[in-house]
Amino acid sequence: MRRVLDATRVLLEEFNGLQKGDRTLVSSSLERVKQAEGDVMTLRSALIRELSQVGTLLVNREDLLRASFAVEAIFGHINGVAFKLSQLPKSSAKNKKYKDAITQLLGLLVDGISKLNESIRALSINSDQSIQMAAQVQQIESAIDNDYREAVVTVMKTATNVKELITVKEVVESIEDCADAMLDAADAATILALGL
C-alpha cells in the first residue's frame, strides 16, 4: 500500500513538471510509477507464497488476498493517469481552469490513497479504526466524483479544439477511475476488518 501511495504522489510531481515544460521530470515520473508497479507485483507474489504456506490456518486468507488484489488494481489506474498526463500539452496544463481542476483532483486522490494506506495499516492494530478510515476514503471518493463532474462541464464549455477536449477529459476521467479503484480497495479492507 505504501508503494501505491508513493506512486500517487508522483502524479502531482509529474503534473507540476508538465506545467513547467520539464519533459525530463515527466519521463522520470512515468519511470518511477512503472518501478513502483513492479515492486507491488513482486510483493504480491511473496504474499501469495506466504499464504499458501500458511494453508488453512488463516481463516480469512481469501479476504486478505481480495484486499491485496484490490490495492494492486489501483496501480493500473495510476499508470493510466501518468500516461494520460504525459500526453497533455503544456498549454492545457497551464490553462488556469484545467490546472486548478486537475490539481484539485490529484490532491484529493493523494488524500484518499493516504487514508486507504492508514486503513490498511490499522488492520493489524485496530479493526475499528480501519473501518473508520475506509469510511473517510468513501467521503473523499464522493468529493472526487463531484469535482470530476464539474471539471468535465468546464472542459466541455471551454475547450478550444477537439484535441484539447479529448486529452483533458481523458485525464480527469482516469483520475476518477483511479478513485473508484481506491474505493473498491477500501471496501475490501472493510470486509477484511470485519473478519478480524
d(CA 124, CA 119): 10
Q: What is the pLDDT of residue 57?
A: 57
Q: Is the Cβ–Cβ distance between 36 and 3 less than 8 Å?
A: yes
Q: What is the pLDDT of residue 17?
A: 93
**Mean pLDDT, 10 residues at a time, over the chain (196 residues)?**
92 93 92 89 83 69 85 92 92 91 96 96 90 95 97 92 92 97 95 84
Report the CATH number at residue 143. 1.20.58.220
**Total tally of structural domains belonging to the chain:** 1
DSSP letters spanning 39-104: HHHHHHHHHHHHHHHHGGGSTTHHHHHHHHHHHHHHHHHHHHHHHHHHTS-HHHHH-HHHHHHHHH
d(CA 111, CA 105): 10
Q: Could you list the residue range(s) of the whole structural domain that residue 54 is in?
A: 2-194
d(CA 187, CA 134): 7
Give the Cα-Cα-Cα angle 61, 193, 122 (nearest 5 degrees): 110
Please give the grid coordinates belonging to residue 88. 497533455
Residue among 166, 45, 46, 171 nearest 105 (CA): 171
Residue among 30, 34, 36, 41 nearest 5 (CA): 36
On whether the pTM is more than 0.85, the answer is yes
